[in-house]
Amino acid sequence: MEHDIVSVSRSVTLSAPIHDAWGVAGEFHGLHKWHPGVIASTPQAVGSEVFRLLTLADGGRIVEHLEAEGTHFYRYAILRGPLPVARYHALFEADQLTEGTRLVWSSHFVPTEPGAEAVIAGIYDAGLAALAGRFGG
């Protein structure tokens, strides 16, 4: 059965300049440094292609591909893992505000099980809440 593509987006405003916030949150291989659900991020490369192997707190593993990156954003795709999604593509980005930094984590994907949107939203919420706790928000 073919499912429709859905989108999930979450954001947080941090009480920190973009240099500080993105210095922690914006490292593609640094997710384990701030997301409570990730205990390790192992960089991998095949030629010029960049990947990360995430080890989750529950023992699961996710392989992600870095599709593009810029000064304050990166786009990536999940290639395999335990999440109930297919064709998952996400954007993680930061914008400087007058007082602080706004982080936005968004994605589109095909759910492979009921509740997939809530699972992804929960992952984003947990990570952004951890950053808000660290930087104020």
Contact 130, 12 (CB under 8 A): no
> In DSSP terms, which residues pair with 49 in a beta bridge?
46
- Give a yes or no: residue 10 inside a domain: yes
- Give a yes or no: residue 15 inside a domain: yes
- Give a yes or no: residue 1 inside a domain: no
- Structural domain containing residue 72: 6-135
3-state secondary structure (DSSP) of residue 30: helix
> In DSSP terms, which residues pair with 80 in a beta bridge?
63
Rounded to whole angstroms, how far apart are CA atoms 87 and 53?
17
State the CATH number of the domain containing residue 66. 3.30.530.20
Rounded to whole angstroms, how far apart are CA atoms 32 and 110?
25
Contact 104, 10 (CB under 8 A): yes
Q: What is the tally of structural domains in the chain?
A: 1
The reported pTM is: 0.94
pLDDT values of the chain reduced to their tens digit, one per residue, 137 residues: 456 999 999 999 999 999 999 999 999 999 999 999 999 999 998 899 999 999 999 999 999 999 999 999 999 999 999 999 999 999 999 999 998 999 999 999 999 999 999 999 999 999 999 999 999 87
Q: Name the token pair of 136.
A: 């104020």
Q: Which pairs from 81-88 meet CB under 8 Å and 24+ separation?
A: 81/54, 82/56, 83/116, 83/119, 83/120, 83/123, 84/111, 84/112, 84/113, 84/115, 84/116, 84/119, 85/109, 85/110, 85/111, 85/112, 85/116, 85/120, 86/110, 86/112, 87/5
